[in-house]
Copies of this chain bind each other. A is one copy, B any other.
Amino acid sequence: MDVKELKRLMDAMKATGTAELELEWDGSEERPGGRVALRRESPVMPGGPASPGAPTQPGIPASSGVAAAAAGALEAMAAGTPAAGEVPAAAEEKAKGTDVVAPIVGTFYAAPSPDTQVFVRVGDQVKVGQVLCVIEAMKLMNEIEAEVAGTVVEILVRNEDPVEYGQVLMRIAPA
């Protein structure tokens, strides 16, 4: 059973309003054994795109085929600049750290100048007000300072990456 077949099963379930399906097969060549269990939904909703309650990305309506079909576009976008879509998803995974987000659009610099040490590394302890990085916007260097004290647990962008508004730059586990 490959992904395409699975997808066809899901489509079929949706089209027929089937709530549950179980399928087992033992792989034997002749007279293969197996088991099938199917259960239908109680009230059948014909033709509805998708149901709510499903864990979806915040802001992206689950019912939207347009949004789903734009996955390719999102990927292309991610290749160009980091996709905003990643942020909340990633944020859920590692909820422990406090996000340091970009307050402006610009270019991320990990160090004050090319030939100097980076401001911080993963594992560093930082104090409130300590400079974490610089974002250059329109030739101006904007220092981004820590708003909490703690340990840098993750840095999500690389030196000279373009960053967009609200993008998570790093995470700090509060002390």
Residues of A within 8 A of B (CB): 1-3, 5-54, 56, 61-65, 68, 71
Contacts and interface: CB of A to CB of B under 8 A. Distances in A.
Given A6-B12, A10-B16, A50 B39 contact: no
Given A27-B33, A38-B21, A39-B19, A11 B52 contact: no
A39 B14 contact: no
A43 B52 contact: yes
A39 to B, nearest CB: 5
Contacts of A52: 43-46
Contact of A1 (B18, B20, B36, B45): B36
Contact of A15 (B1, B8, B30, B68): B68
A105 B22 CA distance: 42
Given A26-B33, A28-B33, 20 more contacts: A1-B25, A3-B12, A7-B16, A10-B18, A11-B12, A14-B54, A14-B68, A15-B49, A19-B40, A21-B36, A21-B39, A23-B36, A25-B33, A27-B32, A29-B30, A44-B51, A45-B52, A46-B49, A46-B51, A48-B61
Nearest to A29: B31
A49 B63 CA distance: 8
